[in-house]
């Protein structure tokens, strides 16, 4: 199952597996890469199951839809097939860092089956084209606030981003003991 809810005490977490980013994320928080000049560290995560996308929307998450073209606005009836050009739903996710280390997200980049925990400063390594990513697995913590018109924001709790280094012709030349 690619999408599900996980109960952790009094919190309901969201697990989305075997997915990708809708477009190149901005985990560096670079304001020049944001259409509103924001320094938020975020990405648009594809929600691979249409039914789950609807459940998230019902819970206040802003879920967007990408069709094949501007003419075809039909909603997908099947799970996302992994093709970035196929119709799919997506939602924004955020990486929020603070002074309390225990609350900071655990975000890993995975190369050759070796995960490496990224620091806040290293998150820019994930700002790559989604075609270079094999898959993303994310555990998200939803947060709702009356201040934001009952909208629910999805914060990254844990995320693994598996990178396809085969697109780099020189990667295989080196021994990567990460």
The structure's pTM equals 0.85
Q: Does any domain span residue 8?
A: yes
Q: Domain span at residue 42?
A: 3-173
Q: Looking at the predicted structure, is the pLDDT value of residue 71 above 60?
A: no
Task: Give the whole-number percent of the chain exceeding pLDDT 90.
Answer: 57
Q: Does any domain span residue 178?
A: no
Q: How many CB atoms lie within 10 A of CB 140?
A: 24
Q: How many CB atoms lie within 10 A of CB 174?
A: 7
Which tens digit of pLDDT belongs to each residue from 167-178? Answer: 666 666 776 555
Q: Looking at the predicted structure, is the pLDDT value of residue 145 above 90?
A: no
Which tens digit of pLDDT belongs to each residue from 42-63? Answer: 999 999 999 999 999 999 999 9
**Total domains in the fold of the chain:** 1
* CA nearest to 30, candidates 40, 18, 20: 40
Q: Which two tokens stand for residue 176?
A: 């990567």
Q: Give residue 20's pLDDT band: very low, low, confident or very high (50, 70, 90).
A: very high
Q: What is the DSSP string of 14-40?
A: EEEEEE-BSS--BTT--GGGSTT----
Q: Does any domain span residue 11?
A: yes
- The CATH number of the domain holding residue 32 is 2.40.50
């Amino acid at each position: 199952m690619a999408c599900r809810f996980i109960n952790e005490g009094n919190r309901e977490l969201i697990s989305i597996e075997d997915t990708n980013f809708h477009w190149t994320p901005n985990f560096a928080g670079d304001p020049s890469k944001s259409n509103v000049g924001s320094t938020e560290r975020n990405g648009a995560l594809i929600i691979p199951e249409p039914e789950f996308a609807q459940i998230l929307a019902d819970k206040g998450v802003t879920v967007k839809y990408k069709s094949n073209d501007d003419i075809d606005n039909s909603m997908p009836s099947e799970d996302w097939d992994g093709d970035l050009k196929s119709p799919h739903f997506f939602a924004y996710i955020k990486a929020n860092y603070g002074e309390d280390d225990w609350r900071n997200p655990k975000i890993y980049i995975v190369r050759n089956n070796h995960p490496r925990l990224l620091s806040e400063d290293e998150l820019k390594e994930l700002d790559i084209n989604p075609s270079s990513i094999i898959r993303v697995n994310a555990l998200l913590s939803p947060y709702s606030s009356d201040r934001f018109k009952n909208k629910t924001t999805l914060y990254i709790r844990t995320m693994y981003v598996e990178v396809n280094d085969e697109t780099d012709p020189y990667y295989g030349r080196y021994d990567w003991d990460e």
